[in-house]
Amino acid sequence: MTMTHQEPLLAIEDLHAAYGLSRVLFGVSLQVDAGECVCLLGRNGVGKTTTMRSVMGFLPPTGGRILWKGTNIAGWSPHRVARAGIGFVPEDRRIFAELTVWENLDVAARAAKRDGKWTIKAVYELFPILPELRGRRGGFLSGGEQQMLTIARTLMGNPELLLLDEPSEGLAPLVVEALLVHIRALKKQGMTILLAEQGVDFSLALADRVYVLEKGTIRYTGPAGELRDDQKLRNHLLSL
Amino acid sequence: MSPSFLFSQFMGGLTTAMFLFLIASGLSLVFGVMRVINFAHGSFYMFGAYLAWQAVQWLHPTGGGFWLAALLAALAVGLLGALTERLFFRSLYGREELYQLLFTYALVLILGDAAKFLWGTDQLSISTPPALAGSVQVLGTTQPLYTLFIIAIGPAIAFGLWLLLNRTGAGRMVRAAQMDREMLDALGANVGTIYTGMFALSAFLAGLSGALVTPIQSIVPGMDVLIIVQAFIVVVIGGMGSLWGTFWGSVIYGQVLSFGILIFPGFSLFSVFALMAVILIVRPWGLFGRPL
Which residues of chain A neighbour B185 with C-beta distances below 8 Å?
77-79, 82
pLDDT in tens, A98-147: 999 999 999 999 999 999 999 999 999 999 999 999 999 999 999 999 99
What pLDDT sits at residue A5? Answer: 57
Asked if B173's CB is within 8 angstroms of A111's CB, the reply is yes
What pLDDT sits at residue B235? Answer: 92
CA distance B79 to B89: 14
- Asked if A14 contacts A51 with a C-beta cutoff of 8 angstroms, the reply is no
Residue A111 sits at the chain B interface (C-beta within 8 Å): yes
Mean pLDDT within B151-155: 94
Q: What's the length of chain A? A: 240
- Asked if A165 contacts A196 with a C-beta cutoff of 8 angstroms, the reply is yes
- Asked if A212 contacts A48 with a C-beta cutoff of 8 angstroms, the reply is no
CA distance A211 to A1: 10
pLDDT at B95 over 90: no
pLDDT in tens, A195-210: 999 888 888 889 999 9
Stronger pLDDT, B3 or B250, i.e. the higher one: B250
What pLDDT sits at residue A126? Answer: 94
What pLDDT sits at residue A53? Answer: 95
Instruction: Please give, rounded to a whole number of angstroms, the shortest distance from the CA of A117 to a CA of chain B.
Output: 17
pLDDT in tens, B24-37: 999 999 998 888 88
Asked if B188's CB is within 8 angstroms of A79's CB, the reply is yes
Cβ-based neighbours of A145, under 8 Å, separated by 6 or more: A129, A130, A133
Between positions 152 and 211 of A, the ones with CB within 8 A of B are 153-154, 156-157
Mean pLDDT within B243-252: 94
Asked if A114's CB is within 8 angstroms of B180's CB, the reply is no
HSE, CB side, 13 Å, CA atoms: give it for residue A151. 29
Q: Is the torsion defined by CA of A56, A151, A103, A84 positive or negative?
A: positive
pTM here?
0.90
Give the long-range contacts of residues B167-176, CB within 8 A, separation 24 or more: B169/A106, B169/A110, B170/B197, B172/A99, B172/A103, B172/A106, B172/A107, B172/A110, B173/A107, B173/A110, B173/A111, B174/B33, B174/B198, B175/A96, B175/A98, B175/A99, B176/A96, B176/A99, B176/A104, B176/A107, B176/A111
Instruction: Please give, rounded to a whole number of angstroms, the shortest distance from the CA of B241 to a CA of chain A.
Output: 15
Per the prediction, chain A carries an average pLDDT of 92
Instruction: Please give, rounded to a whole number of angstroms, the shortest distance from the CA of A36 to a CA of chain B.
Output: 22
What pLDDT sits at residue A1? Answer: 46
Which residues of chain A neighbour B180 with C-beta distances below 8 Å?
94, 96
Which residues of chain A neighbour B191 with C-beta distances below 8 Å?
79
Which residues of chain B neighbour A154 with C-beta distances below 8 Å?
187
Q: Domains of chain A, with CATH numbers?
A: 35-59+77-210+219-238 (3.40.50.300)
Which residues of chain B neighbour A82 with C-beta distances below 8 Å?
185-188
Mapped onto helix, strand or coil, the DSSP state of residue B64 is coil
What pLDDT sits at residue A117? Answer: 94
DSSP track, chain A: ----SSPPSEEEEEEEEEETTEEEEEEEEEEE-TT-EEEEE--TTSSHHHHHHHHHTSS--SEEEEEETTEE-TT--HHHHHHHTEEEE-TT----TTSBHHHHHHHHHHHH---SS--HHHHHHHSTHHHHTTTSBGGGS-HHHHHHHHHHHHHTT--SEEEEE-TTTT--HHHHHHHHHHHHHHHHTT-EEEEEES-HHHHHHH-SEEEEEETTEEEEEEEHHHHHH-HHHHHHHH--
Question: How many CB pairs below 8 A link A and B?
Answer: 70
Mean pLDDT within A3-21: 86
Strand ordering across the sheet containing A71-72: A22-32, A10-19, A63-68, A71-72
Considering only CA atoms, give the Rg of chain A: 17
Preferred mutation among B187, B195, B290 to probe A, highest tally of A CBs within 10 A: B187
What 3 state SS string does B200-263 have? HHHHHHHHHHHHHHCCCCCECCCHHHHHHHHHHHHHHHHCCCCHHHHHHHHHHHHHHHHHHHHH
Residue A102 sits at the chain B interface (C-beta within 8 Å): no
Pairing of strands A71-72, A217-223: unpaired
Residue A78 sits at the chain B interface (C-beta within 8 Å): yes
Pairing of strands A10-19, A63-68: antiparallel
The Cα-based distances of A73 to A18, B134, B253 in angstroms read: 18, 64, 53
Mean pLDDT within B159-164: 95
Per the prediction, chain B carries an average pLDDT of 92
Max CA distance (Å), chain A: 49
Asked if B183's CB is within 8 angstroms of A82's CB, the reply is no
CA distance B200 to A157: 28
pLDDT at A29 over 50: yes
Lowest-pLDDT choice from A74-78, A219-223, B181-185: A219-223
Nearest CA in chain B to A106: B169
Instruction: Please give, rounded to a whole number of angstroms, the shortest distance from the CA of A161 to a CA of chain B.
Output: 13
Instruction: Please give, rounded to a whole number of angstroms, the shortest distance from the CA of B95 to a CA of chain A.
Output: 18
What pLDDT sits at residue A240? Answer: 46
pLDDT in tens, A169-203: 889 999 999 999 999 999 999 999 999 998 888 88
Q: What percent of chain B has pLDDT over 70?
A: 99
Residue A56: which of B169, B179, B186 has the nearest Cβ?
B186
Residue B188: which of A83, A90, A106 has the nearest Cβ?
A83
DSSP state of B89: G
Nearest-5° Cα angle at A104, A100 to A110 = 135
Residue B175: which of A56, A78, A99 has the nearest Cβ?
A99
Cβ-based neighbours of A2, under 8 Å, separated by 6 or more: A33, A209
- Chain B residues with CB within 8 Å of chain A CB: 169, 172-173, 175-176, 179-180, 182-191
Which residues of chain B neighbour A98 with C-beta distances below 8 Å?
175, 179
Which residues of chain A neighbour B189 with C-beta distances below 8 Å?
79, 107, 110-112
